[in-house]
Structure 1
């Protein structure tokens, strides 16, 4: 039975506002697939930075991180925001400007333009699997919040959250994310800091020193980074998988594509990195606070909502619940849209329809509706996974393990090494992913973490060896300007695309469409 209390009312009102604001962005899409997927490549710095941090500070990196800290210690959870902050910093330094110049719709577009259909299809499938897992983690986090705040079964909580996200994703696409993130993510960050100050300042009635002393020494010392027995390998694997593997992130790159120019994409990444690092201390300390106030908790994923409702002032607790719910829905929205775009544009349109069936590409309006339809099965898949195996936090690291293993080498070396070629990309995608899967079964539990670290250490040198060995038949590209990534057979969905590529190559800026 639904519990009608202040927390429940606040959460329901927040859901209603998110649904209304997100759905109203339907008008901004203007029957355009380009506007649904990348907001017409028109977004300013404030929106780009906000959307990027919203994808980083989500249910996995807040509720999931606190659950991991509750179980295993400070470093087990804060590796998530630390890793995501590193990823955004790396994106700003090395990737953002180059990627934005290419005026793409999806990240597999890059693999197609650089390496061809086979690499596009393989990378697309890897990313679909990866991001369905990511969305599942955020649906689960939303379900835990609604279960606790409304007193309803977890199943109903996760269904309600999924339906709200589905509705405004179909309606407004990336515009829905841009406009809902504005009030969702800053509420979450502010609420975490307010909660941390409440406990650190002793306003809870318990001195903060007492709270810290209640945790085992191994929870707070540096052994989590240096002692294998205390999870050091797993923690470093998490930082690497997120700090480097998350660069191959559909939702992050979708927002980089949507920036109105390369400089905005770069600055937005830096802005988001700073805000993500800003959450490390409050999130980490709230995990320790939960350990003190909620000893012996049966389900650690209820630690944060329980703490918010029973050990904080109403205003802070309600803001925490709404903030985590909003952050989770934001990432779920971005993940659903990104996966659906890969299915519609890369797999259905370019590989199946054009390559296999020899038919013309869909026009922009048709792409819009195919993408909207594809959102539904993606949502159902993520909902099912999130319900059957609710593991926020764990899912985030798992999601990027997959692309870290095989897809990062072709992206990075393709951008910065002129001899990168198709055979090297295919070998890296196949071998890196296969080794990661094999190591899941053969690495002993006590050495967990090596299964994340070893595959990319193999796929990068293997990429270089294969590229050098096959240069005669498949020579790499001599230069790396925008137009080099658009082979003659590239399908141009709209006439504006070709004009934009030519303008960008000449050093001009695209207009907001």
Structure 2
């Protein structure tokens, strides 16, 4: 029988509170698939910004970052929140307003509107793979926290966390994320800073200069950005994969689509970017602190919970454990919903049911239940992967390497280049992703990082070459502004949705601004 101490009681109370609040949002869904997936496109700035940072600051970028810093130095882990902050900044500057205007449910919806079913299906499969990996990393981080604080085997810790997240994801969808993120993520950010200031202020009994001196000089200098021998290629690859590849992120774009208007989507992304950058210093320094206090630690993924349990006051340690657990759960919640939505809406409904079988689309209520059912196999897949290979942090970069290589070019050039067409998109998706997988096996270990950086430029170049070569047969849409996307959504347009659509000059519907 497990004997619970103060930390265990605090963590269990936090789990129960998250489960209750998330499940109570069931009433907000109102039997609507649209409300489950994008909260009815109704969320205000505070919720949108909070949800952005909650997806960014997760178990991978906190517990995973500390573990990587413990092993490889400051830049080895700090690249994660830095890269994610850059991604949100780019989303606000370039992508957020345009994509919010299109009134979409999922990111593969864009590939369908711009390029058709083939690109929709390929991008959807890539995103399902990448986000299952992402959820696996956050399940693993949650499992480490529960294993350490409750004294239970890792397998039970990860199962408990996964079941809690699955339950309130099925119940409230994006509303559950919005309402749980409010208390989960600010607790996490506050506890990171409280823990850092505790050590930086010398309150641990050890001067901070002594703590810093315990680390090798290469762990704290800039060599991690300029010296290949100290991981500079890998670190820059991580920044690029997250800063640019994460733009093609189901969960981030889910929040873009859920914002009540384009201005809210843009400001929310900026808010999320600022708060993400705000975590770089405390999380990075906690990794350095762990080197001093835990020199013989065998498993670096236990560094953060071990610091919280053994080297901090109870209030700070308990808040940190709950904060990391909450951050992991919030991202897992968003990832589960995003993947399930792509499976139900893009793969099952539009490609299999409508394209292949020629049947009518499901109504909004049916889509709701299909999406909820899809959460279960996604949870099981991520849980299994997270248990077999529990590596938060590494998972995050790997997840977005895949979409960075193949899916970023069709998204970006489709938005800003009128000659973008279907053959170019399909070529980019196939060749970029396949090249990334090939380079994983052929690039020597000492040049690791190039396998991330080389495929995306090739993908962009191939996109442009193929688009220009195939213009005669597949001309790009001259009317490529957001008002003129053809075809728009014909399925799942309710009376509430009609205000987002208007007739173009040729009588076809197109999204309204």
Above 0.5 in TM-score? yes
* Paired residues of 1:166 and 1:379 also in contact (CA < 8 A): yes
Alignment of 1:295 with 2:295, yes or no, is: yes
Deviation at 1:485, TM superposition (A): 2.4
After superposition, where does 1:80-479 map in structure 2 within 5 Å?
Answer: 80-479=80-479
Aligned mates of 1:494, 1:353 — CA distance in 2: 20
Aligned mates of 1:214, 1:294 — CA distance in 2: 11
CA deviations on 1:296-326 (whole Å, 9 max, x unpaired) are 2110000000000100000000000000000
Deviation at 1:484, TM superposition (A): 2.6
* Paired residues of 1:85 and 1:273 also in contact (CA < 8 A): yes
CA deviations on 1:212-270 (whole Å, 9 max, x unpaired) are 00000110011100010100000000000000000000000000000000000000000
* Paired residues of 1:110 and 1:485 also in contact (CA < 8 A): no
Aligned mates of 2:3, 2:439 — CA distance in 1: 46
Unaligned runs of 5+ in 1: none
**SS in structure 2 of the partner of residue 104 of structure 1:** coil
The answer for the alignment partner of 1:73 in structure 2 is 73
CA deviations on 1:367-394 (whole Å, 9 max, x unpaired) are 0000000000000000000000000000
**SS in structure 2 of the partner of residue 119 of structure 1:** helix
Aligned mates of 1:188, 1:328 — CA distance in 2: 10
Superposed CA RMSD: 1.4
**SS in structure 2 of the partner of residue 131 of structure 1:** helix
Aligned mates of 1:64, 1:489 — CA distance in 2: 39
Aligned mates of 2:510, 2:372 — CA distance in 1: 34
Deviation at 1:20, TM superposition (A): 0.2
Aligned mates of 2:488, 2:186 — CA distance in 1: 44
* Paired residues of 1:89 and 1:269 also in contact (CA < 8 A): yes
The answer for the alignment partner of 1:485 in structure 2 is 485
* Paired residues of 1:142 and 1:325 also in contact (CA < 8 A): yes
Aligned mates of 2:369, 2:357 — CA distance in 1: 20
Deviation at 1:457, TM superposition (A): 1.2
Unaligned runs of 5+ in 2: none
* Paired residues of 2:29 and 2:36 also in contact (CA < 8 A): yes
Aligned mates of 1:507, 1:381 — CA distance in 2: 36
CA deviations on 1:257-296 (whole Å, 9 max, x unpaired) are 0000000000000000000000000000000000100002
Deviation at 1:478, TM superposition (A): 1.5
Q: Which runs of 4+ in 1 moved over 2 A?
A: 479-486, 488-499, 501-509
Aligned mates of 1:200, 1:234 — CA distance in 2: 29
Aligned mates of 2:171, 2:464 — CA distance in 1: 44
* Paired residues of 1:54 and 1:185 also in contact (CA < 8 A): yes
Deviation at 1:486, TM superposition (A): 3.8
Aligned mates of 1:395, 1:403 — CA distance in 2: 13
* Paired residues of 1:113 and 1:490 also in contact (CA < 8 A): no
Deviation at 1:503, TM superposition (A): 9.4
Aligned mates of 1:171, 1:199 — CA distance in 2: 40
* Paired residues of 2:482 and 2:511 also in contact (CA < 8 A): no
CA deviations on 1:363-418 (whole Å, 9 max, x unpaired) are 00000000000000000000000000000000000000000000000000000111
* Paired residues of 2:101 and 2:512 also in contact (CA < 8 A): no
Deviation at 1:498, TM superposition (A): 3.9
Deviation at 1:492, TM superposition (A): 3.8
* Paired residues of 1:363 and 1:494 also in contact (CA < 8 A): no
Q: TM-score, normalised by structure 2?
A: 0.98
Alignment of 1:29 with 2:29, yes or no, is: yes
CA deviations on 1:428-487 (whole Å, 9 max, x unpaired) are 000000100100110000000000000001000110010011111111112333343241
**SS in structure 2 of the partner of residue 253 of structure 1:** helix
* Paired residues of 2:138 and 2:329 also in contact (CA < 8 A): yes
Q: TM-score, normalised by structure 1?
A: 0.98
* Paired residues of 2:122 and 2:429 also in contact (CA < 8 A): yes
Aligned mates of 1:125, 1:108 — CA distance in 2: 9
Aligned mates of 1:486, 1:64 — CA distance in 2: 43
Aligned mates of 1:124, 1:216 — CA distance in 2: 44
Deviation at 1:489, TM superposition (A): 7.6
Aligned mates of 2:512, 2:248 — CA distance in 1: 27
**SS in structure 2 of the partner of residue 502 of structure 1:** strand
Aligned mates of 2:459, 2:511 — CA distance in 1: 34
**SS in structure 1 of the partner of residue 501 of structure 2:** helix
Aligned mates of 1:303, 1:374 — CA distance in 2: 35
